[in-house]
Amino acid sequence: MNLSELSDYFVWGTVSAYTLAMVAFAIDLAKVAENVRSDERPTYVGRSTRALGIAMALTTVGVLFHLVAAIVRGFAAGRVPWANMYEFTLTGTLAAVGVFLVVNLWKEIRFLGVFVTVLAITFLMVGLQAFHIDADGVEPALQSYWIVIHVGIAVLATGLFTVAFIISVLQLMRAAWNRATEAGNTPRWAWRAVLPAPDRLEALSFRLNAVAFVMWTFTIIGGAVWANDAWGRAWNWDPKEVWSFIVWVIYAAYLHARATRGWDGQRAAWFVVVGYAAVLFNFTGVNILFDGLHSYAQLPQ
């Protein structure tokens, strides 16, 4: 067994841990829904159940496996582990789950657990099945310290965008619950009643997106500096450059509209959904559909 294969085994271990954590989070949400139907009003603040404790422990174990998988992948390739689509999926997902755990240290967001783990499992399985290639070196153009700075910051920004996106989706779901109950209806998915109020969810999403936006700005600036070193021009209107700028424009417009124009509530949440859709297309669609200077997807043959 070589290091590349060992990394893959750790990824499968990560998927297993996240799957068990997802089940535990789902069991806890089911119990929450039962309490809501019995007219109790539980909250996740200070909530402590066996299922929730197991879920958080398994998520932590999964992150440790995830981290080892990324580190071993880096040793196998002899470089940082984010030079192709599979590796970006691997490390970007690690960043998202890591953000979830870190933010939870100072703000109660365990209600995100089932959704974070579902996305992590989905992305990792897509990476393993559609993007996976053996660990190897990189093209000469990528043999630069800028791959550590430029792509590393992009990985962290993507992790933050992912968690903020989940929060905005839950904001929309909680707002729909409020409208239904105000209209005298009995909506499905009773667990939505214990989510924080939509305005609190929106405020948290805004903070995470603001940090991610700063990182994305540095990503574009770092990419321009690297492009100038590698190709003699800071901007080449390459598809990846264009779509990275489109992502920047969408989130800049969102932050501006939210901060100065009072675009809050559902309009702000949908802005975040559109922005994250652009992030996903920038990662998948641009790499697969377009040829350009950034054609380093290295998809399996």
Share of the chain above pLDDT 70, in %: 91
What's residue 45's pLDDT?
Answer: 59
Q: What is the DSSP letter of 261?
A: S
Sign of CA dihedral 130, 136, 140, 141: positive
Asked whether the beta carbons of 235 and 297 are under 8 A apart, the reply is no
- 298 and 264, same structural domain? yes
Domain of residue 175: give its range. Answer: 138-301
Residue range 12-38: average pLDDT? Answer: 87
Sign of CA dihedral 261, 267, 269, 275: negative
pLDDT-derived band at 181 (thresholds 50, 70, 90) equals confident
Round to whole Å and give the CA distance between 265 and 115: 21
- 188 and 114, same structural domain? no
Asked whether the beta carbons of 224 and 234 are under 8 A apart, the reply is yes
What's residue 38's pLDDT?
Answer: 53
pLDDT-derived band at 159 (thresholds 50, 70, 90) equals very high
Q: Which of 64, 99, 129 is the last residue of a domain?
A: 129
- 170 and 33, same structural domain? no
Span of 87-96, 119-128, 143-152, 216-225 with lowest mean pLDDT: 143-152
Round to whole Å and give the CA distance between 16 and 125: 11
- 125 and 201, same structural domain? no
pLDDT 10s digits, 259-276: 887 777 788 999 999 999
Helix (H) or strand (E) run with residue 292 in it: none
- 143 and 280, same structural domain? yes
CB atoms within 10 A of CB 176: 15
Question: Whole-prediction pTM value?
Answer: 0.93
- 161 and 257, same structural domain? yes
- 207 and 70, same structural domain? no
Average pLDDT of the chain, as a whole number: 88
pLDDT 10s digits, 102-111: 999 989 899 9
Structural domain includes residue 98:
no
- 295 and 168, same structural domain? yes
Share of the chain above pLDDT 90, in %: 60
**Residue 288 burial (10 A CB sphere; 0-12, 13-18, 19+):** middle
- 125 and 258, same structural domain? no
* Residues contacting 187, CB < 8 A, separation 6+: 176, 177, 180, 181
Domain count, the chain: 2
Residue range 218-231: average pLDDT? Answer: 87
- Total number of residues shown for the chain: 301
- 147 and 28, same structural domain? no
Confidence check: pLDDT of 131 > 70: yes
Structural domain includes residue 103:
no
3-state helix, strand, coil in the chain (%, to 5): 75, 0, 25
- 150 and 16, same structural domain? no
Q: Which of 129, 160, 193 is the last residue of a domain?
A: 129
- 267 and 179, same structural domain? yes
